[in-house]
A and B are shown apart, each in its own frame.
Chain A
């Protein structure tokens, strides 16, 4: 069974860079699409972007200028960097795996809350 676990600082200062890592167990990241999705408190889900097993990436247009998703296949991890954060970036951040083809998310991490505050 594939399991995903987010890790990283729970508090980030405004204007700094948010960095999170997703560690995958029970399966290789050398297949499928690996995504980051966030959810501000009390609000809905927002797709941030993905990295494909080939290494190609795709990002939400609204975040594209500030987002980088990368991977470390030797550690079976992928990561998120979001620059110049503001309070609006406060959210629970999830990592998830999308299926090939129609893109449903069956496997999710538990999520990690990141608060942007000085």
Chain B
């Protein structure tokens, strides 16, 4: 089955830029989605289809996807961005399965 690899943690100072990677075999050929999850809450979709933002998500959240790595970028990080972030794809080549990465904890210093 398809595997997505994320770093366990990323630390960033307020106002700086956080980059969270999601690795997968030829992930650039798939659509990647990103979720933010704060403690005790359901995940929230922050980027879909590699780089699109749902309504209400700040422009500070952006995504890219090429080759074997997709990246979620959070610009001008704020304290409220501290959360777990998960990447996800729909592996249409393998019985149409949904796959999540293990998650990255973003800590705002």
| Residues on A facing B (Cβ under 8 Å) | 35, 37, 44-47, 50, 58, 60-61, 94, 98-99, 101-106, 108-111
Contact = CB atoms under 8 A, between A and B. Distances in A.
Interface in B56-109: 84, 86, 88-90, 95-103
Interface centre among A103, A109, A110 (most CB of B within 10 A): A103
Contacts of B33: 102-105
Given A104-B48, A108-B43, A44 B100 contact: yes
A65 to B, nearest CB: 15
- Using C-beta atoms within 8 Å of the partner chain, give the interface range for chain B: 20 to 34
A46 B89 CA distance: 12
Contacts of B100: 37, 44-47
15 contacts: A35-B98, A44-B86, A45-B86, A45-B100, A58-B97, A60-B97, A61-B95, A102-B33, A102-B49, A103-B90, A103-B98, A104-B31, A104-B49, A105-B33, A106-B54
A44 B45 contact: no
Contacts of B86: 44-45
B62 to A, nearest CB: 16
Question: Which secondary structure characterizes the binding site on chain B?
Answer: strand
B70 to A, nearest CB: 13
Contact of B101 (A44, A102, A103, A109): A44
Nearest to A102: B31
A90 B54 CA distance: 31
B39 to A, nearest CB: 10
Interface string B28-65: 00010101010000111100110000100000000000
B94 to A, nearest CB: 9
Contacts of A105: 33, 35, 43, 45, 88
Contact of B31 (A47, A50, A103): A103
- Ranked nearest first, the 10 interchain pairs of A and B with the lowest CB-CB distance are A103-B90, A102-B31, A104-B48, A104-B33, A47-B98, A108-B42, A44-B103, A45-B100, A44-B102, A106-B45
